[in-house]
Amino acid sequence: MNREIKDQGSSKKDGGFTLIEVMVVVLIIGVLLAIGVPTFLGARERAQDRSAQSSARVAQSAALIVYTDDADFRDANVSALRASEPGFTWLSANAASTDDKRISIAARSNGTEWGAAAMSDSGTCFYIRLRENGSTLYGSSSSASCTGNSALSRARSSEW
């Protein structure tokens, strides 16, 4: 009889995880999340910024198409760009862009420069400015108003 009890006790096994094993798994998951979440958020912000930059470049192309007809940036106005590129909402010089599909545009009164501003979902405004001599200037800001008039003064660099 003692032998039967001993056999039953030795064949019995616990079917679960120890607290230490569970804690190690939770720790590993926490480390992976600490690495992965910031990387994902950074990639998301970069994608949002690239979308706004792409919209500004489309605006640049549309303005150049209008410019080639008359050699005057004043003709690249809201109505002309709406006809040329209907996929965007074109805003006047003092109206602020609120997303990458709403582009604020402005032209100098003498027609020698043209600017556009597009707001990224990340909160950064991207500016592009075209000059009559063929040069293109870029700029960005997270604190300024995102208007076409701002693009004419804030786009000063050769890259974003």
What average pLDDT does the segment 95-100 reach?
A: 96
Per-residue pLDDT, 15: 77
Q: Give residue 144's pLDDT band: very low, low, confident or very high (50, 70, 90).
A: confident
Q: Give residue 11's pLDDT band: very low, low, confident or very high (50, 70, 90).
A: low
pTM, entire model: 0.77
What are the phi and psi torsion angles at 44 (to 5°)?
-65, -45
Per-residue pLDDT, 70: 82
Instruction: Considering only residues 108 and 10, tell me which one the structure prediction assigns the higher pLDDT.
Output: 108
> For residue 133, what are the contacts with CB-CB under 8 A and spacing of at least 6?
none
Per-residue pLDDT, 100: 95
Q: Give residue 2's pLDDT band: very low, low, confident or very high (50, 70, 90).
A: low
What average pLDDT does the segment 98-110 reach?
A: 96
- C-alpha distances (whole Å) from 124 to each of 6, 36, 69, 98 are 74, 23, 33, 10
pLDDT of 29 above 90: yes
What average pLDDT does the segment 100-121 reach?
A: 96
Per-residue pLDDT, 46: 94
Per-residue pLDDT, 39: 82
Which tens digit of pLDDT belongs to each residue from 65-79?
999 888 899 999 999
Per-residue pLDDT, 14: 66
pLDDT of 8 above 60: no
Q: Which two tokens stand for residue 115?
A: 């600017």
**In 3D, which of 160, 131, 159, 143 has the Cα closest to residue 46?**
160
pLDDT of 115 above 80: yes
Report yes or no: 125 and 119 within 8 Å, Cβ to Cβ. Answer: yes
